[in-house]
Amino acid sequence: MRRVINVSRSGFTLFEILLVLALIGLLSSLFVLNIGSLLRDGELETLEREYWRAVESARAGAVFKQQAHFLEWDADESQFLVKAGSSVESFPVSLDSSGNYEIDVLFEEVAAENSYLLIRGELVAVREIVTVGFFPDGTCSPYTVSLQVEDFVTRFQMDPWTGVELVNPHSGEESAI
């Protein structure tokens, strides 16, 4: 007669240990590869926050002081400037000092819908501009702004009547991909 002995096994097999180590290695490599992009995305949020602070200052200054205010980007000093007459208010963009990030801010003038601007013999719907105006009646120049840090880009189209971001300006249109 054979006796069956039940032996309870404690511990893990070699296969189970290797499987767990492989999963830990995979997850940590994904984290290490994506940490750089997470930091740059945070830097884009910093740039965007300073842009909105400068816009709000220009809008409020134009309305309350009854004087046109102009917003521009100073690429050399990495700051937004709000100018009104001889006064200048700066909004520096201070990114993480450990990275040398390439920042680009582009203001473009938007022509009225279904119209074009003639620039150097070419019809265009938008053109690059240096400054954006905010006026005492609460309006602003019709423009779009592109904010870019490395490969991360965000773009806003501003409503010239209210001076705030247009929410989905082309909601009824099909977009060609």
Q: What are phi and psi of 117, to 5 degrees?
A: -110, 140
- Position 163 scores a pLDDT of 77
- Position 54 scores a pLDDT of 93
- Position 115 scores a pLDDT of 62
How far, in Å, CA of 130 to CA of 80, rounded? 11
- Position 101 scores a pLDDT of 75
Q: What is the mean pLDDT of each run of 10 residues along the chain (177 residues)?
A: 67 87 84 59 82 92 94 91 92 72 85 62 72 92 87 86 71 39
CATH top-level class for 14-157? alpha beta
